[in-house]
Chains A and B, each alone.
Chain A
Amino acid sequence: MKIVIVGDGKVGYSLARQLSKEEHDIVMIDSNSEVLDELLETLDVMTVIGNGATLEVQREANVAVSDLLIAATSSDETNLLCCILAKKLGCRHTISRVRNSAYTQQLQFLRDELGLSLTINPELTAAREIFRLTQYPSFLKRDVFAKGRVELVEIRLSSESKLVGKRLDGLFDSRLKALVCAVERGDTVTIPKGGFIFEENDTIIVAAKNSDLAKLIKQLDIAKNKIKNVMIVGGSRVAVYCTDLLLKAGVGVKIIEQDAQKCVELAEKLPDAIIIHGDGTRQDLLIEEGIRHTDAVISLTNIDEENLIISLFADYLNVSKTITKINRLEYRQLFNDKGIDSIICPKELTTNDIVRYVRAMNNTTGSSVVTLHRIFDGKAEALEFIVQPTTLHREIPLSKLSLRKDILIACINRNGTIIIPNGNDFLMEGDTAIVVTTSDRTIDNLNDIFTDGENR
């Protein structure tokens, strides 16, 4: 597909990298020629210098014959103008980043009237993710499938975990339907077989019904206290959205923000939260404000290093849950097992949303992707497909199928009934199936998972 991206920022770059890896033709528009030069050196894309919201530049980038335009500049208004022009020129789909909370109320109207295919708000997505993590603090990450009925949760095995040293088969008793889909050990991700033995510091992905999550926590003995109060450091946009959600759920929120003017704004927007004016990286301030007694610390300043330090400090004081916002994920492996708990990366979340949309667009014939989640920093993927008449091997027990290497069917949703499959289950037309794979190769059709369906 031909995709034009406007704005070579954090989100723009991350999108260009992922989408060009998936063999799409990418044209990047930006007004800064230096960033574009750097982009050309690292990725196989074409660049156009100029203001993406002008006809001349859009014509040069061949927007008229493109399938998709993604506007990801820092200004909402520019993004919207880009999309309007592109649509009028004949671009099939447009995606715009709109993140000003003043516009969020009118998003539906904007989408309909301007013909936008999708609007994205990285900060809001991040805030929702954080909120969901605070609901089940035992999990590092939660990915939702089948309209929220199924979740893939990430758990790290500490030294005292019950799982360490155990074999995979016979792990859960029969009353609990759960399946270990993937394990990350060091740098490698594997899809475990029955004889797999867990070790300390493994990170595992478990598929389970939403209603079974509590049981899962109990059985693995990883329960943490329910989160009743939260300390947020850094009054960024994410903090505002997040506080809003937390307050509505009855959780007490305390925000520490350095900038006095911003504190006033926060106090105005969030009258029920406690706003503290001060430097959130200062130990004595954190202690004075009772970091020891909070259930969760969420660090949301704009500087990665500060966020890391705050979370490490919280972990040192045995705060049961820390959530850290990080913009640059490259160094993640360095602090994976060093007391950094859940990590949130807005740009990554946004990229996932858009990649999911693009894959669904790309798939006009076969079984299309409904949901896509990249797990372990994209080292593995979980995809949700609809089983269609064209799908091979329907109604044949899974144990009799020959699946390609490193592929696992994690869950089947049959008209709302969730099946965590074993060898006797099978796929039926109309089902949705969740497939987990270590993503060396892009899978965008359900038939790709079979050894004999590769070229279809």
Chain B
Amino acid sequence: MNRRLIVNYIGLILNIEAVLMAPALLIALFKHERASAFAFAVTMFVLLLFGIVFIKLKTWSKRIYAREGFVIVALSWVFLSAFGCLPFYLSGEIPSIVDSFFETVSGFTTTGATILTDVEILPMSILYWRSFTHWLGGMGVLVFMLAVIPMSEGSSMRIMRAESPGPVVGKLVPKLRHTARILYVIYIVMTLAEIILLLCGGMPFFDSLVHAFGTAGTGGFSIKNASIGAYDSVYLQNVVAVFMLLFGVNFNFYYLILCKNFKSAFKSSEFRMYVGIVAFSIVTIAINILSYYDTMREALHYSLFQVASIITTTGYATANFDLWPQYSRCLLFLLMIVGACAGSTGGGIKVTRVLMIFKVIRNYTQKLLHPRSVKLMKIDGKVISEGTLHEVFVFLLSYAVIAVASIMVISLENFDFDTTASSVIACMGNIGPGLSKVGPIGNFSEFSNLSKLVFCADMLFGRLEVFPMLLLFSPSLWRRGR
């Protein structure tokens, strides 16, 4: 393993983080928030210092092999969070370092789980940075790096593969750099569109900015204790709901739309399944919760928002769905596991993988009926290779194993089963709120430090889709010459 190269890349990432922290510092200076201005300035200095030292390290080869790609991505995320939490801690807004780290990991992984009981008292610059981590983590910091910094070798595809969600990561155009740029342009344009629509609905500028960040990255940090529910406007809530759903769609879809290739965009079976699941959930939950609300329209409105928020793994709330009937709670819990589309900013195990599971089951029953039949699995006319399928199975299994292990550790807290299980799933799926104690009006402040660190690991496992993080725990990775 080329350790120096990995250190180089981490240095690059730290420098990028320092630059991206600048707006937060400006806000702090502008609003005369002394403590946080100091915290941001110190953090930026430390980031630049480490970054430059790391970059200066000489390497014998610039080539990224598979393992370097994975390790660069995994370590970058750990380092980003470790340094990104300094402003919270140094400004004294979050007194515990573990809590600060939890909040930052939750931000970058677009989980949106918080340990804060009252967010409204935080200074503006800190709130800005907290939400900006969502926006950055949504599309990925390394993808951002690929878009802005020219890479000498073509093998940086491995970095993109390791960071972008989904079983098959492809390019939109031949050059990786251009692909990354197209993704970010789509991302920025959609974020701007949401900001403008929120402003039109009368939301203050800073609130629109922060909530657009939270929606775009499918994160879920709000600057109100009552989340989006604090804005008593059907229009605003619907705008956020629709944009959550839009950011949960595979970005290939938007590229195809841009190329005016509407036919293949709307024919995508993942997109169709996503729309199907969303529509089914909205309608059945609305019927299920009808008795709680006055009209069907109101029930549909609340159902739409909560379903959009949960399936895209955002985690905003306008109603306390924890109090809803069992069917609604269970369905929402299921949606937490499913998550958004591959290639979107959302988390979960992704709709494509669910689609593959169904197809595998169907193929296998066919095989039982006709033992000699040969069947290939196809999605959108493309054959899914045995290797990809195998990877999907291993992914699902390791996802389950990690979830079960985490649940066992969290169970030491002695909370009820709903809380224990849903908190782990909410972290691994990068959703944020779960059920019971960690429900939409609850938070993660009651957990012990050990549990919080387990949650941090879960969030990273979920965001990077298990394997890059898993590699860090492999002893043979760290031994020389292996």
Contact = CB atoms under 8 A, between A and B. Distances in A.
Interface string B433-447: 000000000000000
Interface string B152-189: 00111110000000000001011111100000000000
B1 interface: no
A20 interface: yes
B158 A44 contact: no
A171 interface: no
A41 interface: yes
Interface string A6-42: 0000000000000010000111000001000000111
B171 to A, nearest CB: 5
A287 interface: no
A31 to B, nearest CB: 12
B66 interface: yes
Given A33-B385, A45-B154, 5 more contacts: A41-B66, A44-B151, A44-B154, A44-B174, A44-B175
A214 interface: no
Contacts of A45: 154, 174
A43 interface: yes
Interface-centre pick from A20, A27, A44, A46 (highest chain B CB count, 10 A): A44
Interface in A350-372: none
Contacts of A43: 154-155
A22 to B, nearest CB: 12
B155 A46 contact: no
Interface of A: 2, 20, 25-27, 33, 40-46
B66 A46 contact: no
Nearest to B152: A21
A27 B174 contact: yes
Contacts of A26: 174
Contacts, number: 32
A109 B37 CA distance: 75
Given A20-B154, A41-B66, A46 B385 contact: no
18 contacts: A2-B174, A25-B174, A25-B178, A26-B174, A41-B155, A41-B157, A42-B154, A42-B155, A43-B154, A43-B155, A44-B151, A44-B156, A44-B174, A44-B175, A44-B176, A44-B177, A45-B154, A46-B171
Contacts of B66: 41
A390 B174 CA distance: 33
A195 to B, nearest CB: 30
Contacts of B173: 25, 46
Given A25-B174, A25-B175, A26-B174, A44 B157 contact: yes
A47 B66 CA distance: 19
Interface of B: 66, 151, 154-158, 171, 173-178, 385
A185 to B, nearest CB: 21
Nearest to B63: A42
A2 B176 CA distance: 14
B158 A41 contact: yes
A70 to B, nearest CB: 14
Contacts of A42: 154-155
A317 B317 CA distance: 86
B383 to A, nearest CB: 8
Nearest to A17: B154
A33 B383 CA distance: 10
B325 to A, nearest CB: 48
Contacts of B156: 44
A243 to B, nearest CB: 40
A237 B173 CA distance: 38
B464 to A, nearest CB: 19
Nearest to B158: A41
Q: Which 6 A-B residue pairings sit nearest by Cβ, starting from the closest?
A: A44-B154, A25-B174, A46-B174, A43-B154, A46-B171, A44-B176
Nearest to A28: B174
A20 B66 CA distance: 21
Nearest to B172: A46
Nearest to A16: B154
A264 B177 CA distance: 55
Contacts of B175: 25, 44
B350 to A, nearest CB: 21
B174 A40 contact: no
Nearest to B385: A33
A46 B178 CA distance: 12
Q: Which of B158, B171, B174, B177 is most buried by chain A, counting CB atoms within 10 A of its CB?
A: B174
B268 to A, nearest CB: 15
Nearest to A42: B155
A43 B157 CA distance: 8
A50 to B, nearest CB: 10
Contacts of A2: 174
A110 to B, nearest CB: 29
Nearest to B154: A44
Nearest to A23: B175
B261 to A, nearest CB: 11
Nearest to B259: A62
